[in-house]
Amino acid sequence: MPLPTSPVIRRVRLGAELRQLRRREALTLEQVCDRLGWASTSKLSRIELGQSRPDLADVLDLLDIYKVPTPARDALIVIARDAATSRGWWKTLGEMSERQRTYAELEAGAADIVEYQPTVVPGLLQTPEYARVLVAAGAQLTPEVDVEAEVRARALRQEVLRRAYPPRYTAVLAAAVCEPGDLPVAVWREQLRHLVAVTGLSHVTVRLLPPGAAGGGLHPLTPYSCYAFPDPADPRTVMIEALTTDVRLATVLDVDRYERMTEALLAAALSAEETVTALARRAGE
């Protein structure tokens, strides 16, 4: 059975490959678009930047212009099909917001996911009640959000952890995540018990940073997620979560920095066994 792929990452990979081929042929964006009869360079620019879902016919035309031989051509066609695919469970729920869809597409094709959260439980580990409270709070800033649709979509995203070939998933949580804050006590307690239960999956690890732990002197203030993919040529990616939008990083330099940060946080965190004990104890208080 072929491993799943991430459409958003395959688009980035395809764009980088096509840009390299164009430059190898010493062609400008304008020259390529003139040969194809495209009205402007914006279409090609968006394909090369991985910002649009490519049409396979357009990719075939580009491969012809760049004189790409077999088997390199066949390999790029596979990537293009992955990048353009409309298959996948995230497509069954058109009401999923664009932000959540981006995370869903990254998660769908990941082999390894590591998430750091300083204040809330990550989306892949949230109970429906906990998610509903968070989404409803966020809806105060974005009233157009359909709270129930977002909660259902989050539940669909979580199926990635229970599929036949799930990613290895690690969540690094700051101590504040285990505090109830403004949550109803029943919701908070159920969420902590769910965290304990989900660690029963062999591919899921939760690590808790004890109070005062600073990850070797570094304590990120914003949540982030790191993704690696089955095909080592697909770019490792970091998503930084912000209030109204998210930042995606894919350069080797940026990703390496976040991976070093993650190593420092893991070194400062409780072990997986100590974390389960701490979460279970906290849920019983």
Q: Would residue 92 count as lying in a domain?
A: no
Q: Are residues 66 and 141 in the same domain?
A: no
Q: Are residues 279 and 166 in the same domain?
A: yes
Q: Would residue 94 count as lying in a domain?
A: no
Q: Are residues 156 and 204 in the same domain?
A: yes
The CATH number given to whatever domain includes residue 209 is 3.30.870
Backbone angles phi, psi at 173, to 5 degrees: -120, 130
Q: Would residue 130 count as lying in a domain?
A: yes
Give me the residues paired with residue 207 across strands: 172
Nearest to 237 by CA among 119, 52, 102, 118: 102
Enter the DSSP assignment of 234: S
Q: Are residues 137 and 201 in the same domain?
A: yes
- Which range has the worst mean pLDDT, 18-27, 164-173, 213-222? 213-222
**CB 201 within 8 Å of CB 234:** no
User: What are the tens digits of pLDDT across the range 92-147?
Assistant: 555 677 788 889 889 988 999 999 999 999 999 999 999 999 998 887 777 788 88
Q: Are residues 279 and 200 in the same domain?
A: yes
Q: Are residues 155 and 241 in the same domain?
A: yes
Enter the DSSP assignment of 25: T
The two three-digit tokens of residue 74, written as one number: 């066949």
| pLDDT range class, residue 254, cuts 50, 70, 90 | very high
Q: Would residue 234 count as lying in a domain?
A: yes
Q: Would residue 1 count as lying in a domain?
A: no
Share of the chain above pLDDT 70, in %: 93
Cis amide bond preceding 128, omega within 30: no
- Cα angle, residue 224 at apex, residues 14 and 98 outer, rounded to 5°: 55
The two three-digit tokens of residue 182, written as one number: 């403004």
Q: Total domain count for the chain?
A: 2
Q: Are residues 160 and 51 in the same domain?
A: no
Mean pLDDT of the chain: 89
Choose one of 85, 107, 130: the last residue of a domain. Answer: 85
Choose one of 24, 50, 85: the last residue of a domain. Answer: 85
Q: Are residues 108 and 19 in the same domain?
A: no
For helices 128-138 and 147-157, the axis angle rounded to 10 degrees is: 130
Choose one of 85, 109, 132: the last residue of a domain. Answer: 85
Does this model's pTM top 0.95? My answer is no
Q: Are residues 181 and 235 in the same domain?
A: yes
Q: Would residue 244 count as lying in a domain?
A: yes
| pLDDT range class, residue 89, cuts 50, 70, 90 | very low
Q: Would residue 239 count as lying in a domain?
A: yes
Q: Are residues 140 and 65 in the same domain?
A: no
Q: Would residue 277 count as lying in a domain?
A: yes
d(CA 113, CA 171): 8
Q: Are residues 78 and 200 in the same domain?
A: no
Q: Residues 6 or more apart from 78 whose CB is under 8 A from it?
A: none
User: What are the tens digits of pLDDT across the range 165-180?
Assistant: 899 999 999 999 988 8
d(CA 235, CA 9): 7
Domain interval for residue 19: 7-85
